Amino acid sequence: MREELLEKLRGIQTEQKIGEVKKASDDQVVKEWLQHGVKFAASSDKIENVYYEALRKLLDCVVPTLGDKPILHEGGIYLGCWLESTGTINAELLSRFIPSVSQTTYEMFADYQREDGLIPYKLTENGPSYRQIQLVTPLARSVWNHYQLNGKDQTFLRKMYAAMQRYDEWLVTYRNTRGTDAVEAFCTFDTGHDLSPRFWHVPDTPHRNNPREYHPDSPILPFIAPDLTANVYCQRLYLAKMAEELGESGEPWREKAEISLNRLFQYCFDEEDQFFYDRDNNDELVRIQSDVLLRVLACEVGDQAFFDQALRKYLLNTRKFFAKYPFTSIAMDDPRFDPFSSYNSWGGSSNFLSLIRAPHAFEHHGRFVELTYVLYPIMAAFHKMTRFAQALSPWTGEEGFTQTYSPAILCVLDYVERLCGIMPRTDNELWFTGLLPYAVDHGETIADATAYSRQIDGVTYELVNTLEDSIVYQDGKVLLQFPNGLRAVTDREGKLKSLIGMSARTVEGVVSYQGQEWRVAVRGNERFDWVDGIELKKIEADKGVIAPSYR
């Protein structure tokens, strides 16, 4: 099986999988993909075909806009590029595959920044739009990760840093009307929470479509918004990194970030519920438990204990957000929960934007095994995918509203790489993950073996996963072999750094590297480091594995 699959992987002609391109700009985009050497093969043609269909559909979402260079579009009915998603988390994922398009996408938001400092919330062929702010994933984090992963272009970094510095000033000036030093939402669309009960009886857009104003006759506006405040907190942490990279002091940004964090907890955190809520203009909490929690955690708010508690009480709780196909956009035990995914709604269905935002929160706290609880059912949903919709039914995993939606497309590419591929990291690491999709739906097998390749600095790496073990090849020669259920971490030259337990079980077996063998037993989330080139040594305290709850 292993040799067969490796031969299949090496025989894949990606250009043939893509077929005839539809527009002139696609040629260069495909060429860039090929330069990264990314290919995926599986024992089952079905999941492999979904993967390459996603790649074909991705090209439909990479479109020259307001000039000759292509940028990433949201896709589906969304004709353009949105800051909350396409211009941040979507482009952050795309940076691993087609970085030039990501960089052009980021820069275009800076290019169309308004004189007062406001960055457009979307870009379309008709130009920029400034009607609302629509912030979720921090732009600075996405820009920093792109910078670290793709050659450290300081001209790019300086340009984006200056734009984000000015935008921070705009938010302080115009979204702090209550003088709290937090960030206020003036309308539903400020957070992209269309049809969410969070914003019932709040207008969709700012007053007279002016992002500086809220409806003056509203009895509840403005809201002090936890996700917007957390966004600015995290934004400032990464602006501090940028400042230091550019030869400035990062301390002023860290001081501002600390203020944002303090205000987030002061105004939006409920100690009894251990949840973040909006605070309305009557000083009342808007008690809707929504994916705001996941958004705040993805902004690196809270320590290990805080995140673990959120997992136990909410994110992995089947009464709250951990549906069969997670994560729901409203807690399932809220009477306002609406599971239908056949229209654009954040009232309950599992949205792909939540799914691509989630990994950072889990991995930031080393909750690798717990993230696989999400990857497995979503991979099963991919297995039957045909349209790449905006949302999934939390109950059945069936595709919902719209099609050719870039967050869904990128979720396929991202989750395959995280579960059973080769993933480059911003800290000059490579992740080789030895897991396989699991038959969670009706016992239908997705793949008993997979293979994945990538080129890193001119070197070709290949990973073949079977039910028993995983083998890493470097330029065609065996580099490393380890048991199924582990992740091997190397540097960009392929030198082993550590092994991570990726299964709830204790993974036992033999690791082979540089002509030596070690018998290991690695528990879930444990990390063993390669020490002094002679031994694998456990260097972290056992944090254990958190199981889903049914309270």
pLDDT digits (tens, 9 = 90+) for 273-299: 999 999 999 999 999 999 999 999 999
Tell me what the pLDDT averaged over the chain comes to. 97
State residue 328's pLDDT score.
98
Instruction: Enter the DSSP assignment of 405.
Output: B
All structural domains of the chain with their residue ranges: 131-299
Q: Which among 355, 349, 438, 363 is positioned nearest to 400, based on CA atoms?
A: 349
pLDDT, residue 373, reads 98
Q: Please check the confidence at residue 538 and state whether its pLDDT lies above 90.
A: no
Structure confidence at residue 447 (pLDDT)? 96
Is pLDDT of 539 > 90? no
pLDDT value at 69 more than 80: yes
Contacts of 290 (CB under 8 A, 6+ apart): 193, 196, 197, 198, 329, 330, 331, 346
> What pLDDT shows up at residue 536?
84
Give the amino acid at 350.
Answer: S
How far apart CA 454 and CA 462 sit, in angstroms, is: 7
* Amino acid identity, position 243: A
Distance of CA 118 to the CA centre of its chain: 25
The CA dihedral of 231, 242, 103, 206, to the nearest 10 degrees, is: 30
Closest CA to 212 of 265, 181, 253, 176: 176
User: How does pLDDT run across 304-323, given as a tens digit for each residue?
Assistant: 999 999 999 999 999 999 99
Tell me the C-alpha to C-alpha distance, in Å, between residue 373 and each of 304, 378, 386, 393, 537: 19, 9, 23, 17, 27
Torsion of CA 207, 210, 214, 218, to 10 degrees: 0
**Contact (Cβ atoms closer than 8 angstroms) between residue 223 and residue 289:** no
Dist CA 48 CA 106 (whole Å): 31
What percent of the chain lies above the pLDDT cut of 70?
Answer: 100
Q: Please check the confidence at residue 537 and state whether its pLDDT lies above 90.
A: no
CA–CA–CA angle 338, 135, 199 (5° rounding):
35
Q: What is the pLDDT of residue 531?
A: 86
**DSSP-assigned letters across all residues of 327-370:** PBSB-TTSTT-B---SSS--SBSEEHHHHHHHHHHHHHTT-HHH
Distance CA 541, CA 254 (A): 29
Q: In this predicted structure, which of 144-153, 196-205, 400-409, 535-544 has the lowest mean pLDDT?
A: 535-544
Nearest to 234 by CA among 185, 278, 172, 168: 168
Which residues in 20-141 belong to E strands, given as ranges? 39-42, 62-64, 70-72, 81-82, 122-124, 127-129
Phi and psi based region of residue 302 (left: phi greater than 0; alpha: psi -120 to 50; beta: remaining): left
Q: Looking at residues 38-42, what average pLDDT do you find?
A: 98
Kindly tell me if the per-residue pLDDT of 372 is higher than 80: yes
Tokens of 38: 């990314």
Q: What is the pTM of this model?
A: 0.97
DSSP state of 548: P
| DSSP per position, 196-246 | -GGGTTS-SS-GGG-TT---TT-SSPSEE-HHHHHHHHHHHHHHHHHHHHT
Give the single-character DSSP code of 399.
B
CATH topology of domain 131-299: Glycosyltransferase (1.50.10)
Say how far apart CA 294 and CA 303 lie, in whole Å. Answer: 14
Residues constituting the chain: 551
In the block, tokens 């709830």 appear at 504
Query: Pick from 57, 66, 53: which is nearest to 26 by CA?
Result: 57
Please report which confidence band the pLDDT of residue 395 belongs to, taking 50, 70 and 90 as the band edges: very high
| Bridge partner residues of 486 (DSSP) | 501
Report yes or no: 65 and 71 within 8 Å, Cβ to Cβ: yes
Judge whether 437 and 380 are in contact, CB under 8 Å.
Answer: yes
pLDDT tens per residue, range 243-276:
999 999 999 999 999 999 999 999 999 999 999 9
CA angle 490, 492, 497 (to 5 degrees): 20
43, two tokens: 């024992």
Which residue, among 473, 478, 481, 477, has the nearest Cα to 499 in the 3D structure? 481
Distance (Å, whole) CA 444 – CA 182: 49
How far, in Å, CA of 222 to CA of 219, rounded? 9
Q: Is 433 exposed, middle or buried (0-12, 13-18, 19+ CB in 10 A)?
A: buried
Within 10 Å of residue 438's Cβ, how many Cβ atoms?
A: 16
CA distance 133 to 83: 8
CB 240 within 8 A of CB 251: yes
Identity of the residue numbered 433: T
Choose among 336, 299, 297: nearest CA to 313.
Answer: 297
Asked whether residue 302 carries a pLDDT value surpassing 80, the answer given is yes
Judge contact between 149 and 431, C-beta under 8 A. Answer: no
For residue 432, cis peptide bond before it (omega within 30 degrees of 0): no
CA atoms within 13 A of residue 297's CA, in its CB half-sphere: 29
